[in-house]
Structure formats: structure tokens, C-alpha cells
Amino acid sequence: VSPRLLLERIDGAVTRWLTAPERNAAGRMGLFRILFALFYLWYLATNPIEEMSGYRLLDFNHVLIVEVLPTLSLEVLRIVQAALVGALVLLAFGYHTRVATAAVLVLGIVLEAVNASTDLEHANMLLTAFVPLLMLIAGHWGDTYSLDGLRMRNRGGGISPNDPSGKYFLGARAVFVVLALLFTSAAISKVLPSSTWFTHPDLLANLTLEKNVENVIDGLPAAPGAGSFAKAEILHESMRGVIVLLEISFLFALFSATLRQLVIALALVFHSMNAFFLGIHFAPVLVAYMPFVDWQGLLERVLPQRSPPRIPRRGAALAPLALVAAGAVAALWYWNDFLERVITLDWVLDWRTINYLVLPLALAWLGAQLLAILKRVRQGGSGQLDLGTPA
């Protein structure tokens, strides 16, 4: 086989993978867009802009984007954040979705680069950069549950939320590739000779104890399982291997939708358990898992009579409402912290407590995935790669 032919074959296989059908693809991506915008608003609410104002002082990481920008005063940061909030409201409405997505991407990267310059570990590249970038390029998350979709329907080009066409899921699959590459980089970094992951048997135990003491001194609740975990040698030593396996399994999950759903459910449980029992949390990464929940299917279960929701054809009149809402929310966000308080339930719903919502849902999802696999095994698998979940 000539190199050119081989490349063409690989390219064809990648295209087929990226565009394989997925159950309810059109509807679930529209719903994901709304959830993404709401999640992003919550994320902004947990990051008061005043914290960022000392970023030049705390610039430990010398992020290039920050270095090339002029110093942004607190006032400018407030305006950028308010504009981002307005763009997120428009995105939730699905009004000129691509423009709104582009605005979310640019404004979000600027703000998060400022965060990254101070605290790289908690800067969220998936939420602020890669999800909006890939959705912008793939371009179909505004086709359903949106004013853009309504406009299309009024022109006779309406799209069913149950449409499984792969083009709607292109962005989500690309997000999963990014996630798989990042987790693979995490696994590789742990097996490199410079790593202490496998050379220090007590690494996880001591890390847990250290983090727990730090958290309690900082006024956070003690992790209930930290001491027991550190004492259970078999548990914390084996966890080092399990964690690397989980990280590397994201790469294998590219080849099977069943494994993908299972790995995501496991990762969600893993994140939540880390947050609760070990005091280590990376809540904003949750957004990267969201496209893989069949929100459309869930909506149809909850509201079977009203799916898809009936929006009158004259609903295009909602456009001015979207603009007014975006302006009002942005202005309110700029002037005071009322909306931040509402979204975070008066600062209760933070990076740690959100796991109270995530853990039971993740456990239920994991259970459902395991049952589905068991059922499939009993019925006898086809032995073929299941790239997507066709309707």
C-alpha cells in the first residue's frame, strides 16, 4: 500500500468516526448549548473578577496571551466579563449562535488567560477555549432549541431534535479527542522517568494527608476518608495504577461508544469522590463530559407529551427579548453581585459542593452503563466497533 493510499484510508476512517450517527444528536447538542451557557455563567460567578485584578502581581506563569495584552484594569476586566455574560445569554437563546460562540471564545480566552497566569492548575482550557472553538467550527449546536432553529423552521428547513446525523455531533466527538489527548498526556507524564508517580509508594497517601491539612487550615471541611485512605496501603498503592489506567482508557474509548460512555461515567465518579473524600476538585472540567449525556432522551422521558417543545412560528419575536435579556443580565452582572449570588445560591454552590449534585447522578449513570453492557453481553455482542449510538 502506497503512503498516499494509506493516508487516504486513515483520513477516510477518521471522517467516518467523526461523523458517525449518534442518537438524538441534533436535539442533545442544542440542549448542551443551553447547559454550556448556564454552566459557564455559574463558573464566572464562582470567580469574582476582583480576584483577578492583581494578576500582574501574581503572574507566575507568564502566559503569552497575557504578556502581549496591555495591563487590564479592574474596570476593563469588569467590562470584558459583562460582555462575556451578555454573549452567553445570547448563546443560551441560540440567537446568531455562531457570532455568540465566537464572542464567548475570544472574551473567555482573554479572561481565563488572566486566571492561568496566576493559577494554571485551575485554569479551564476546555470550558473557555476548546469547547467553544470546536463548536464554532463544527457549527450545529445552534440548530435546535434556538432562535436560529426557529428562523430555519420558518423558512421551511426545520430540524428534528431526534435527527441522529453525525454532523450535529462532530463538535462533541472532537471535544472527546481533546479530552482523550489530555488524559493521555496525564498518563504519559506519570510513567516518564522524571515522574515520582511510581517511584514514591506513599505519594497518593501523603498527598491526600497534605491536602486535607491544607484544606482544614483554609477553613474547608475535612475530607472524611483521607486518614483511612492513607492507612490502607493496598488501596492507595493500587490507586496509582488504576488512575493511570483510567487516564489511558480515554484513548481506547475513541474506538467504542460503549467504552466511551463507561469511561466518562467512571471519570465523573472519580472526580466527585476526589472532591468529597480527598478534597481535590476540578469542577469546571465537567462541561467536557456534558455532550455525551443524551439530554434529548432525558427530556423526552421527563416531558413525553411536549417533545419537541412547541414554539409558535411567531416565536421569532423572541429575538428582541434575547437582546434585551443579554443586555440586562450583562448590566446587572457589571453593577453588583446579585446574579452571582442567585446562580451560586448565595455562594453555596461552589467547585466543591457541586459534587453533591454530580456524584449521585454519576453513580446512577455508571450503574446504567454497566447494566447496558451486561444486557448486551447476555444478548451476545456483534463483535463490531460501535462508533456511535444510531437511533
Partner 1 sequence: VLSLISEKGSILAVKVILVLFALGLCVVSNRSTLWPLVTWPMFHARTPEVPPPRVTVTHVRVTDREGDKHILGPTELMPDPRDAAANELIEMAFSPGPKREPAREHIVFLAERALDGMEVRVVEALDRTWKVDPYATPPLDRSDPLREAVSDRYPADGGRLLGGAP
- Subset of residues 61 to 100 that bind partner 1, contact rule: CB under 8 A: 61-65, 98
Neighbours of 116 (CB within 10 A): 22
Q: Is 57 in the site for partner 1 (CB under 8 A)?
A: yes
Binding-site size for partner 1 (CB under 8 A) equals 88
Please report which helix (H) or strand (E) contains residue 33, including its range. Answer: helix 25-45
The smaller minimum CB distance to partner 1, of residues 47 and 272, is found at 47
Residues near 194 by beta carbon (within 8 Å), at least 6 away in sequence: none
The smaller minimum CB distance to partner 1, of residues 21 and 227, is found at 227
Q: Which of residues 287-346 bind partner 1 (CB under 8 A)?
A: none
What would the grid cell of residue 317 be?
Answer: 419575536
Nearest distance in Å: CB 297, partner 1: 25
Torsion, Cα of 110, 289, 121, 100 (10° steps):
10
What would the grid cell of residue 367 be?
Answer: 450503574
The smaller minimum CB distance to partner 1, of residues 118 and 249, is found at 118
**HEC assignment per residue over 301-315:** HHCHHHCCCCCCHHH
Q: How far apart are CA 298 and CA 311, in angstroms?
A: 19
The smaller minimum CB distance to partner 1, of residues 216 and 325, is found at 216
Burial 52-91 (b: 16+ CB within 10 A, else e): bbebeeeeebebeebeeeeebeeeebbbbbbbbbbbbbbb
Q: Which of residues 135-174 bind partner 1 (CB under 8 A)?
A: 136-139, 167, 170-171, 174
What would the grid cell of residue 199 be?
Answer: 517511584
What would the grid cell of residue 176 be?
Answer: 472527546
Nearest distance in Å: CB 155, partner 1: 14
The smaller minimum CB distance to partner 1, of residues 162 and 212, is found at 212
Residue 126 amino acid letter: L
Neighbours of 221 (CB within 10 A): 12
Nearest distance in Å: CB 123, partner 1: 6
C-alpha distance across the termini of the chain, in Å? 36
Q: Which of residues 207-246 bind partner 1 (CB under 8 A)?
A: 207, 209-210, 212-213, 215-220, 222-224, 226-227, 230-231
Nearest distance in Å: CB 325, partner 1: 24
Q: Looking at 195-203, 261-269, 288-296, 355-363, which segment touches partner 1 (CB under 8 A)?
A: 195-203
Q: Which of residues 253-292 bind partner 1 (CB under 8 A)?
A: 281
Q: Pick from 12, 13, 60, 372 the residue near partner 1 by CB under 8 A.
A: 60
